[in-house]
A = this chain, B = another copy of it.
């Protein structure tokens, strides 16, 4: 199986209380690809400038990422400058230079048009629609977005949402999109537009998924080792969709949610893609088990209470 991602490829400059990275590899398509490539074949659609480092290209190639859809244009690569305080759930953007990203038009090579799963990263909804026009009939299409597009291109964004099977979105943004403060209400109102699967990302608190009527909640991976949360949401999406793509129809969506959480946990441990690059099949598997252990609730407790008929009394 193959999954396709379209999104930013960036050089990020980031300050956090734990250090600083300058012009370091980043962007939705990069984080997604590195995460998903642990599970399946990945096709990347994006654009970089002539200044994009050779080592970054090699790194993606070494993880098996197909870069036939990565355009190289005259000019500089997209740059983002941001900072975080101790609350790393929210970044403050200090500067954005679109550079070659400003005139980006996604063009899918012939070999990309039959991708099985497609992730439309947070870009202009018109470009997301242009990608949907170029793919044949993916088994799953998922979309992410942000406040800027919810405000500025609402109609086009809603058109994208109507045409996908899954929406992965931040808590604050699904509230903004729907006007519902309660996240369950918000998720259900997005389901009413079409998509069956809504995943709400809640930073360090983890995520909540509605898939049809089923609700699933996975907490963030508990760790004291957090340096930079840039790319966590995109790594989450890569783990989620990468797992689903590898396992095809009938794949366990809850397991996908856990793998998303685990991949995000590697990303936040270091600046840029440092943590994610170190993730291996074995270490990902270990954290899956750890998260299962941390959240385990024994279902037999109630039955035991009833059979002992002690304790509970009104």
Which A residues lie at the B interface, using CB under 8 A? 37-40, 63-64, 86-87, 181-182, 184-185, 188, 202, 205-206, 208, 215-219, 222-224, 226, 243, 246-247, 252, 254-255, 258, 280-281, 284-285, 288-289, 291-292, 294-299, 301-302, 305-306, 310-314
A222 touches B226 (CB 8 A): no
Closest to A208 in B: B222
Q: Contacts A311-B247, A314-B281: A297 and B292 contacting too (C-beta < 8 A)? A: yes
Per the bound structure, the CA–CA distance linking A126 and B111 in Å amounts to 72
**CA distance in complex: A60, B294 (Å):** 36
Contact A40 B311 (CB under 8 A): yes
Query: Can you give 25 contacting A-B residue pairs, CB < 8 Å?
Result: A38-B312, A38-B313, A182-B224, A184-B223, A185-B224, A205-B205, A208-B222, A216-B294, A216-B296, A217-B294, A217-B295, A219-B219, A246-B310, A252-B298, A254-B297, A258-B297, A280-B314, A281-B312, A285-B302, A285-B306, A288-B301, A291-B297, A292-B298, A292-B299, A296-B297
Kindly list chain B residues whose C-beta atoms are within 8 Å of the C-beta of A297: 218, 254-255, 258, 288, 291-292, 295-296
- Contact residues in B for A288 (Cβ distance below 8 Å): 297, 301-302
**Nearest-Cβ distance from residue A222 to partner chain B, whole angstroms:** 5
The answer to whether A217 and B215 touch across the interface, beta carbons within 8 angstroms, is: no
- Most interface-central of A217, A297, A302 (chain B CB within 10 A): A297
A137–B139 CA distance with the chains assembled, in angstroms: 62
Q: Are B311 and A246 in contact (CB under 8 A)?
A: yes
Residue pair B254, A296 in contact (C-beta under 8 Å):
yes
Contacts of A305 in B (CB 8 A): 285
